[in-house]
Amino acid sequence: MDNSQSLGSGTSFSSTANRSLPEGSYSLSTTNDTGECYEQDKDKLIENGKNKVHIVCMFCSSRILNAGTCKFVEIECTLPPLDGRHGGTSGPMEEPLREFWSVDDIYTFENIGFSNTVGKAKYLACADCDRGPVGWHNLETRKSFVALSRVRHL
């Protein structure tokens, strides 16, 4: 059964892959503010299924979420690339993502901006530097999802 849902403009996500992180040691490939890819150890990021550390903007270091305020989930989703990540028309128009922080209440955020409505969602961006999207807010479920690879963890 395919539970893929569209966020509008070709952006979609699938809730069938929503699952907790199994026991063990994992690494997360992410990009720093200079565009270099590096690995993060998930054991240092996740404790009891929640974020162990603060989540900040990868561009301006503004705090987005405090430690212990959101849950790790895996959801197959595509989002537009981060600002400046694609080289004009030759770059990808969507980026497949899978690992997210799930936020049940928008008032949990320390600092986040919301786009205009796109389909059934609003994209999330840093409220200080307007870079993003770092995730999306589902208008039907009222839940927000922040991509692990689009933020830094301190």
Res 83: pLDDT: 75
The one-character DSSP state at 52 is S
Give Dmax (Cα) for the chain: 42
pLDDT tens-digit series, residues 63-85? 999 999 999 999 999 999 987 55
Domain 26-153 fold is: 2.170.150
Q: CA separation (Å) from 12 to 19, 46, 136?
A: 18, 26, 11
Residue 77: both structure tokens together:
């989703």
Q: Which residue has the higher pLDDT, 36 or 118?
A: 118
Q: Which residue has the higher pLDDT, 9 or 107?
A: 107
CB of 19 closer than 8 Å to CB of 73: yes
pLDDT tens-digit series, residues 23-40? 333 334 444 444 444 445
pLDDT category, 109, cuts 50, 70, 90?
Answer: very high
Q: Which residue has the higher pLDDT, 151 or 19?
A: 151
Residues 6+ apart with CB under 8 A from 18: 73, 74, 75
